[in-house]
Each structure stands twice: as structure tokens, then as C-alpha cells.
Amino acid sequence: MKLPGSPSAFGSATWADVLPYYEQLAAAPLDATTLTAWLGEWSQLESLLSEAASLAMIAYTCDTGAPEKEAAHLRFSTEILPKAEEQSVRLARRLVGQREVPEGMEHVVARFKASIDIFREANVPLFAELEELGSRYQRMTGGMLALWEGTERPLPMLTPYLQSAERSVREQAFRAMVTPYVEQHDALAAVFDELYARRQAVARNANFSDYHAFSFVAKHRFDYTPGDCARFHDAVESIVVPAHTRSINTALCDLGS
């Protein structure tokens, strides 16, 4: 099977349409002479799928009230991409199983090994559920409107008013923008609780204590740890924030002198 030349070819694809491409890569001969071409085919396949999924997501986020756009986005995010990730791990095992790491691909192979280590088949449906919950959140927040100067407007239209030189205008815009969130607090909190529960389940399935630890490995953050991030955060809080406060106080004193 020859790969299509454009992501639009996958625009209405189902998983049954995509799977044969992965099966072809899984069955193709793989050795030092075929590795480069094989990697190129795999990379091209996932580039096309990723772009098709991104286009579907953009179309949906621009119009969260369109059922057909939501359905297209969910088809990618809950059906195609989680199963594609499973197949990617399958192909990664083939690559990692090669006797020698191709020169210049040491970091790529390390990423593949990490993905293999944390992959659990039980997490495939959980990731699909997480995507559906994310889509539900987008649907809830994407349709929010704020009353501004007697007219209901989408929240992003109020963003410029947050930059106004008049404090009263900034405050009015801020309150108008957060009001829909406050009004839907319980529904949004319910989505958050469901997201939290599933993320923790994903982490436990992969033998991690929590999703924070899991996500560091999943995002291939090899050069620093959660502890490094915490120390950086503490340093900013202890040094940068007080300096910023001093600068504001100095400016206020100058204005008053």
C-alpha cells in the first residue's frame, strides 16, 4: 500500500482504513539495509495522521457547536490515535530489537524504549476516555458567552479589554469572562474529577505512584526531574518575585516623590 500524499486523504478515515498501513510496516523486512526507508515510511504515516487529527481538532475548537465536527475530532482522538499509539509501540519494539542503534538515533531510541516501558494495553481505552472528557470540556467552555455593553459575545472577544489602561475596564472584562465559569462550576468540576481519576488509573497501571511521575516519562523528559522543576519554582518564588515586588514599590515611591 502506498501512503497518500496529503493528510486530507485521512480526513474521513476510520481505524479500519489506517490499520493496514501499520500492518504493512510490521511485516516489512527490517535490517541495516532497509532501516532508513522503513523509518521514513513510518514517520510519513504518523505525520499524515497527526496533521489530519490536528485539522479535525482545529475545525472542532473553532465551532464546538457543530456535531459533525465534534464527531470527526472524537473519531481521531478516541478511536484512531490511541490505537495508533499501540501500533507505534509495536513498531518501536522492532526498532529497539535491532542489534545496533543507528548512528545519530540514540535519543530517538531512548524515547522509544521509554514508550515501550510504560505502555499498558489497559490504558488504551483510558486514553480514549480522557480525550472524550477533554472534548466535553471544550464543548462546555467553547460555547460560553459574556454580556458586554448589552451584547453577548464569545469570551475571546473581551481579551483586548484586559489590556485597557483603565482599571475599571479591566476589572469589568475579567468579571464578565469568569462569570460563565463560575456559573458552570459544578459541571466543570465533575469533568475535572473524572479526568483526575482516569489519569491516576493510567499511572497506576504503568506502576507509577501518580500521573505527575508518569507524565514525565511519557513526555520523554530525560534531562531533568520533577524535583528539578520544584527547585526551579522555589528559586523563582524566593528571588524573582521579591525583586519584582521591590521594583513595583520603588516605582510607586518615585511616583509619590
Does the residue 84 lie in any domain? yes
- Does residue 83 register a pLDDT over 70? yes
- Domain boundary (119, 142, 165) is at 142
Q: Residues 135, 257: one domain? A: no
Exposure of 140 in the CB half-sphere (CA atoms within 13 A): 19
- pTM, two decimals, is 0.75
Contacts of 169 (CB under 8 A, 6+ apart): 161
User: Residue 196 domain-assigned?
Assistant: no
Work out the average pLDDT over 7-14: 91
Identify the domain boundary among 108, 142, 176: 142
Q: Per the domain annotation, does 49 fall within a domain?
A: yes
Q: Are residues 114 and 4 in the same domain?
A: yes
Last residue of a domain, one of 142, 158, 185: 142
Residues belonging to the chain:
257
Domain limits for position 8 = 1-142
pLDDT of residue 120: 93
Please report, for the domain that includes residue 134, its CATH number. 1.20.140
Q: What's the structural domain count of the chain?
A: 2
Q: What is the pLDDT of residues 66-75, one digit of tens each?
A: 889 989 999 9
Same domain, 136 and 233: no
Model confidence pLDDT, tens digit, residues 13-68: 999 999 999 999 999 998 888 888 999 999 999 999 999 999 999 998 888 888 89
